[in-house]
Amino acid sequence: MSSQPVDQSFEPEITAFYCGYCGYMAADTAGALKVQYPANVKFIRLPCIGKTDIRYLLAAFEQGADAVYLVACPLGNCHHVRGNERGVARVNRAKKLLDEIGIGGSRVDMFFMSGSQANAFADAARTMTTRIRELGPSPLKVKAGRALGGTA
């Protein structure tokens, strides 16, 4: 974590991929229950988190994301049996690649929840937003000399 003071005005741009089963249902439940979560997360629906390709994760960073995370069914409860385990392996690989690139592997993560867990869905968004506020904008943005977050 950065030792710099946290800039609360920085709104990180976060891309999240969720599966069409638990992830999507959790988002839907959060909406139905009017559970609030940070508005700076953009969601992309995948048929299963096993569909996650490292290209998707890297492309999100290249296109301006400060962080990326996956929302999947709980381990052992994937609709496609082991798709979420494949997602874990890809996130781990992406972390190594991001460290090697210089962006930092802690900017990518994964969360597990069932379709009824609206608060867990909101917590994931809050956790990532808080973490990225502490880390600051993506080094790509800093290098490009952009202003903080969405105000680039």
Query: Least CB distance from residue 101 to other proteins, whole Å?
Result: 5
Q: Which helix (H) or strand (E) holds 29?
A: helix 22-32
Residue 20, interface with other proteins (CB under 8 A)?
no
Both tokens assigned to 68: 């990326």
Query: Least CB distance from residue 119 to other proteins, whole Å?
Result: 34
Query: Least CB distance from residue 49 to other proteins, whole Å?
Result: 17
Both tokens assigned to 6: 């946290």
Alpha carbons 6 and 20: distance in angstroms, whole number:
34
Task: Among 6, 59, 75, 81, indicate the residue that binds other proteins (CB under 8 A).
Answer: 59
Segment interacting with other proteins (CB under 8 A) among 12-20, 44-52, 67-75, 101-109: 101-109
How many residues touch other proteins under the rule CB under 8 A: the total is: 16
Alpha carbons 98 and 108: distance in angstroms, whole number:
9
Task: Among 24, 38, 79, 97, indicate the residue that binds other proteins (CB under 8 A).
Answer: 97
Residue 62, interface with other proteins (CB under 8 A)?
yes
Task: Among 101, 114, 134, 148, indicate the residue that binds other proteins (CB under 8 A).
Answer: 101
User: What Å distances lie between residue 128 and 39, 70, 86, 91, 107, CA to CA?
Assistant: 12, 11, 21, 15, 8
Cβ distance to other proteins smaller for residue 42 or 55: 55
Q: Which residues pair with 40 in a beta bridge?
A: none
8 Å CB contact between 27 and 111 = no
8 Å CB contact between 111 and 69 = yes
Contact footprint for other proteins (CB under 8 A): 53-55, 58-59, 61-62, 97, 100-103, 139-140, 143-144
